[in-house]
Structure 1
């Protein structure tokens, strides 16, 4: 087997279908002392990953408390609450790519420590914020720190595990992300039941302290041994383009109107800047991101599949929260607990998905997983006010199982398409597509939900004063708030509000299912099929081992 590294900026490395006859799998590329503690290192990386992903969702359950006047909250307005949530997502998504590049250049452990420290300090400051403006600012700093943590964890993973063990380790990494997403609302609800609102941020501090110590003691340093010249123009274009694009997407989700100028201008501007980034990267002799990787069908299909599945998933997760709380009447904590099947399935199936891929191939497994996700999303079109909870839980369990058989293989496809010294770049691309796809799903499907809901409720708002009708028709929560304000006369609004929301949810769920089905078609067309087993009877995954360029990994 040819184990020579690919050119620094040449075409992407291709994993061979099978080695030549008689060629052994090859010796280890990871130093023995690192190899022995690889699973301990993975546990440390999961701890670092936990607080970053948790903080993406934990504030959602605290918005009512934070909006309350002092001393219960800080009196944040709806707009300020939205920016407290979105400032984190905007900075996080905008800097992911740059942070991954820096990790390759200056060291992934170094960037992980830096990001963790920044995140911990900003969490402590956010917990004691005296005003909504301060909270928004500290949340932005938290997003800045998180952008350096998440890509570093996956990049380090690729450099402490041998190629044949990387699918298993990535499965554990993906499972940890899924668990953190689902546990965030539950943890937030539990903290708010016993402590003040700032506890949802202060709880990060001891976790960060333990993570810093563990990373410093156990995680080895790794970097690109030959990073080449810096591409400041490419880095600047990527930051500006991603920030503009994500800002426009988030703004579209806030307004539930994708045609508003404040949505269209940044989205179009961001797309144009990113197009300029692609042109620049293709022409410069030292690109920040080698565009040749996207000519590899498996790489492009994998990142496209990541974006599409998170588009569908995050959009319907956003809708399901309103279904469980506004229509079914569950508390935020109860709604969070009902979403736990998504976490349980990630924990159970994601680390084992490699076994199914080994038998049937990434193409079949990912396509089947996306079809399961599509079917589960379509099942939301049958939910109503009387749907048994066990049916909802069963659908969520199946949806999580489908996701657990999609995300690990596509992540493996992205990361193993690049040589090891570019692991930070691969991780940054993987996470950037995940974040942009999820934000776009919330914005687009949220806008669709709002438009269909408004059309269904407008004819039932006659009892609402004319000046308040527009606001009352924006969402099911707004309509129910108007009904409570009207007193007994508003009781007649409750049933039409629930009916209009369910109708809107059904349309949105079917659209999300269609997107997941498109993702299934993409991966079925372009991901590689089942690899041929080695002629010497060796393990198929080891038979495909190779490709990652050697680099120094050590303390």
Structure 2
């Protein structure tokens, strides 16, 4: 392989500088991951303040996730071609500006549009953080550095939920955007001062066709999933969304197979470690992000937790993820990825099953124990999977390798909120139908839109009718949450079983070269 600027960074940066770069990249990562997670605890307040329906709430979350996931691969390729540090800084500026603008907006549609712009900025940031790390650290240290990055990616999301909960105790949901804008500015300054410059000097022109097809396919598919419960699964717009999504993704694969220098060489999935690792991250992210989206509403609206207490319920998950993540790669190298990843997926499924028993109310400590189990499971499953994906591509292509890892994570998160949210929404709307049958049209529609709206309508009714509607809405929410948790468990179990079967019998030792060596990969 030809020498590149990327490969020389291993030798030119000393241990202290590498550690500083790792810290700054983890800060930038925490900013963009925390933005997605912190809004989860703010969803009830946003629904009440803006009058948002359940579908609106899913789009406020997913507009960020769709552009984030859809542009990750182009973002990684841009960094390889034009310089990772410059792309990182540009992404932080775009992310911070769009997040700050939300503070001044009251229209739901404008909030959704700004969230999409912030997601585009995040797509430039996240792959750069991992690709800079993997180019700075030598092979024998890379696994542990990736473990720290992976732990921060999980832990920062959950700590962001706690921070947002604390902010919501004293301020409005808009304070979450103020804080994230400030953190983006801090990450920009730190990265400008400390991050090294690297790129692939042999990078080809950006694959515009592949980028467009990936965004269209992902966006259309998510549109169909989110809008189905409200508009009806046979609605022409919903059916069109599914058709365009499937055709767009198939066209993306066909385009990439024919492209001389593809945005994503889909042939890399022939490597069992890459395909299995991608499947693990997608499955666990789908289950967990959908779970977060619904659980934090449940804790606040059904169990009456304050925003801070609801966020605190996820702190054990963050601690477990951050503690276990650095240890997971060495265990996978020693005992093999199959038992470590299999154990992690089993722990996630068990934790989700335990949560299903709490939908009618529970003491605080069982909830904390379940979230700790989930955090440890995520670390055991996803951290070795990340290491496998990163190790599959040569140093010059770490932007795309990192983007592939991030894409599977973010695509899983988008689909989790869309799929589990839609399962929940279908059950909720069905079960509230009887209770809202005698209400005026606008009030009935509002009550079926979301739990927050149903409780607001119930307060406006006198006596027993209001209490009946509130009880029916809470019961419907619990039923929807149970159904979503069962789907999440099924995804984790099936995905974990298939991934374990695909995984190679042994893992590469630290510093051992694996995967395709061709520059064209």
Same-fold status (TM-score > 0.5): yes
Structure 2 CA distance for partners of 1:401 and 1:175, relative to 1, 3 Å: same
Structure 2 CA distance for partners of 1:279 and 1:378, relative to 1, 3 Å: same
2:96 is the counterpart of 1:120: yes
**Whole-Å Cα distance in 1 between the matches of residues 57 and 424 of structure 2?**
21
Q: 1:261 aligns with which of 236, 256, 267?
A: 236
Q: 2:122 aligns with which of 146, 161, 174?
A: 146
2:499 maps to what in 1? 523
**Whole-Å Cα distance in 2 between the matches of residues 61 and 445 of structure 1?**
17
2:27 maps to what in 1? 47
Structure 2 CA distance for partners of 1:235 and 1:453, relative to 1, 3 Å: closer
Deviations for 1:405-456, whole angstroms, at most 9, x for unmatched residues? 1111111111111111111111212222222222222222222223333444
Deviations for 1:392-416, whole angstroms, at most 9, x for unmatched residues? 1111111111011111111111111
Runs of 5+ consecutive residues of structure 2 not aligned to the other structure: none
Structure 2 CA distance for partners of 1:196 and 1:305, relative to 1, 3 Å: closer
Correspondence list, 1:486-525, <5 A: 486-489=461-464, 490-525=466-501
Structure 2 CA distance for partners of 1:272 and 1:188, relative to 1, 3 Å: same
2:17 maps to what in 1? 37
**Whole-Å Cα distance in 2 between the matches of residues 259 and 436 of structure 1?**
25
Structure 2 CA distance for partners of 1:179 and 1:497, relative to 1, 3 Å: same
Structure 2 CA distance for partners of 1:395 and 1:385, relative to 1, 3 Å: same
**Whole-Å Cα distance in 1 between the matches of residues 351 and 205 of structure 2?**
48
Structure 2 CA distance for partners of 1:186 and 1:176, relative to 1, 3 Å: same
Q: 2:220 aligns with which of 228, 232, 244?
A: 244
2:144 maps to what in 1? 168
**Whole-Å Cα distance in 2 between the matches of residues 470 and 152 of structure 1?**
44
Tell me if the contact between 1:124 and 1:202 (Cα under 8 Å) persists in the aligned partners: yes
Structure 2 CA distance for partners of 1:530 and 1:100, relative to 1, 3 Å: same
Deviations for 1:484-533, whole angstroms, at most 9, x for unmatched residues? 2223212234444444433333332222111110111122111123348x
2:373 maps to what in 1? 398
Deviations for 1:185-204, whole angstroms, at most 9, x for unmatched residues? 33223223334554322223
**Whole-Å Cα distance in 2 between the matches of residues 124 and 470 of structure 1?**
32
2:389 is the counterpart of 1:383: no
Tell me if the contact between 2:300 and 2:307 (Cα under 8 Å) persists in the aligned partners: yes
**Whole-Å Cα distance in 1 between the matches of residues 363 and 60 of structure 2?**
35
**Whole-Å Cα distance in 2 between the matches of residues 550 and 212 of structure 1?**
34
The worse-fitting range, judged by mean Cα deviation, of 220-229 and 398-407 is: 220-229
Structure 2 CA distance for partners of 1:196 and 1:264, relative to 1, 3 Å: same
Tell me if the contact between 1:168 and 1:351 (Cα under 8 Å) persists in the aligned partners: yes
Correspondence list, 1:131-210, <5 A: 134-195=110-171, 197-210=173-186
Structure 2 CA distance for partners of 1:190 and 1:348, relative to 1, 3 Å: same
**1:221 shift after superposition:** 1.4
**Whole-Å Cα distance in 1 between the matches of residues 58 and 290 of structure 2?**
17
Tell me if the contact between 2:24 and 2:187 (Cα under 8 Å) persists in the aligned partners: yes
Tell me if the contact between 1:421 and 1:550 (Cα under 8 Å) persists in the aligned partners: no
Larger Rg: 1
Structure 2 CA distance for partners of 1:87 and 1:447, relative to 1, 3 Å: closer
- Flag as ranges the 4+ runs of structure 1 deviating above 6 A: 546-551
Q: Which has the higher helix share?
A: 2
1:283 maps to what in 2? 258
**1:267 shift after superposition:** 3.0
Over aligned residues, Cα RMSD in angstroms?
3.0
Tell me if the contact between 1:256 and 1:448 (Cα under 8 Å) persists in the aligned partners: no
2:36 is the counterpart of 1:56: yes
Tell me if the contact between 2:458 and 2:469 (Cα under 8 Å) persists in the aligned partners: yes
Q: SS of the residue aligned with 2:468?
A: helix
Structure 2 CA distance for partners of 1:337 and 1:519, relative to 1, 3 Å: same
**1:209 shift after superposition:** 3.0
